Amino acid sequence: MNEISDRFKANILDKNLFTENSSLLLSMSAGKDSMFMFCNIMSLVKEMRLRIGVFHLNHLLRGEESDGDEEFLKSFLMDYQVETYFREYDFNACADHRKSFEEHARTVRYSMLDSIKSEFNYDLILTAHNKNDNAETVFMRILKGTGLRGLEGIPESEGSLVRPVLPFDVEEIYSFLRNNSLKWREDSSNLSDKYERNFIRNSVFPLIGSRFSGFLDNITGLMEHSRENRLLMERFIDERFGHCVYSEGDSHFVDIECLNDDIPVTKFIISKILRNNYDTVLSHSVFREIFRKIYSKRSNILLYSNGTVSINKGYHKGKAVISLSMYNSDEIPDEWEYAIPEGDGEICIKESDMVIYFRRFSCVAEIPAEYKDFIGIGDLPSASKVMVRSRRPGDRIIIKNGRKKIKDLMIEKKLDSVAKKKVPLITVNNEVAVYLPLPDSGDNFRISKKYLIDSDSKNIILFTLKQGM
């Protein structure tokens, strides 16, 4: 059609995004990017002998506008010999409150695409993300916190997923459509800054662009440099430290001593294992807590778990190792612990299958009446390290008649070995402040005499529990 179409074709051939006789399933809205992708792909159908299918998802969120997008696309596609798959999903009725709308929609959409690809024998799924989308993604990752891999942005090819529009910016796409008298529909929800991406797109990027005209190309350059540097680091670390990492069955092991306490290398290796094997990415703050535990004197402890993967510090074949394996809810480590951060919040204790909610107050007068039934500890030293953890050998709690071994409390209630591992203790600077019995154990919680709250108490934390996660 024109110079842009020539670049589109050249990019596909140069990077081998797909080959002749491929079956391609295009994920389309009725917007500019989808129409750009479709028309350029269709220009290659005869030459490359391609089989084309089109998928469209009606989100049922914008009433007549959503239905209008679907009807527009159906009418447009009548002039082409392509297979079509129109689906709908009521995101209002089936909201997933654990995820943002964007995350939920992406999960549903890709699940449907994967199902259609498998059932109707397509080789690849194509989406219409453009150059601006990629820059927005990287910018949001920077604001929220990311690493070298996150700076790479969205890859053009990822398994069976291909994004052939990524090299083209919005202005090029609009120019192509107008020059070829092609129609498209605008999504009115894209005008709302309620969504983070829209805020970046509508408010932040125009402001940056008014001062830094080449910022989009510079962000794209950053993505390319990040990928090159990450691949270089992978090659170097594999050559230098590859012998420190091994697998056995579904588990992966990192020899701690072999890495000579090199935190950046250890972090890089763990990150690579998590991404490649467990589809998991950890934040800088989570890694900081993991390394605090790794370099403590304790062994055989849980470093991290998210319901998908468990990371543990222990021994394997006589070596001190970090082990990574699929999370097993029936497998409870002998020692586990969670830090209670500053402020208010909640902690999910997987080992005990409970959630602990906590609130902080500087004095008794600040505590609202509705908190009167909460468990509380007071007069905490400044900068105290407050933890929720399992029992350790020698743990004691100060009660009315002196010190009592936690082990003895458990024996008195005839707890079995598994139940003993589940019982959470709240500690202050590694001293037991609260013993929290398991539900249905017939036991009562106990608060150390040292941390009992009275009318003069300061620096207070209140806790309440919810069984089940």
pLDDT in tens, 387-444: 899 999 999 999 888 899 999 988 888 887 888 888 999 999 999 999 988 776 667 8
β-pair type (124-126, 23-27): parallel
* Higher per-residue pLDDT: 188 or 109: 109
Residue-wise pLDDT tens digits, 233-244: 999 999 999 999
Instruction: Lay out the sheet containing 431-435: strands in order across.
Output: 337-339, 386-389, 425-428, 431-435, 446-447
pLDDT digits (tens, 9 = 90+) for 291-313: 988 887 666 678 888 778 889 88
Q: What is the pLDDT of residue 330?
A: 62
Spatial separation of the C-alpha atoms in residues 427 and 395, rounded to whole Å = 10
Confidence at 42, pLDDT banded by 50, 70, 90: very high
Among the ranges given (154-163, 250-259, 284-293), the one the predictor scored with the smallest mean pLDDT = 284-293
Rounded mean pLDDT of 256-280?
Answer: 92
Q: What pLDDT is stored for residue 346 in this prediction?
A: 81
Q: Confirm if 433 and 427 have CB atoms less than 8 A apart.
A: yes
pLDDT of the residue at 56: 94
Q: What is the pLDDT of residues 10-26, one digit of tens each?
A: 999 999 999 999 999 99
- Tokens 């933890």 sit on residue: 387
Q: In which element (H, E) is residue 462 found? A: strand 458-467
Q: Can you tell me the mean pLDDT for 357-384?
A: 88
Kindly list the domain boundaries of the chain, sorted by start residue. 3-130+155-208, 249-326, 337-467
- What's the CATH code, domain 3-130+155-208? 3.40.50.620
Instruction: Check residue 244 and give its pLDDT.
Output: 95
pTM over 0.85: no
pLDDT in tens, 208-220: 999 998 999 999 9
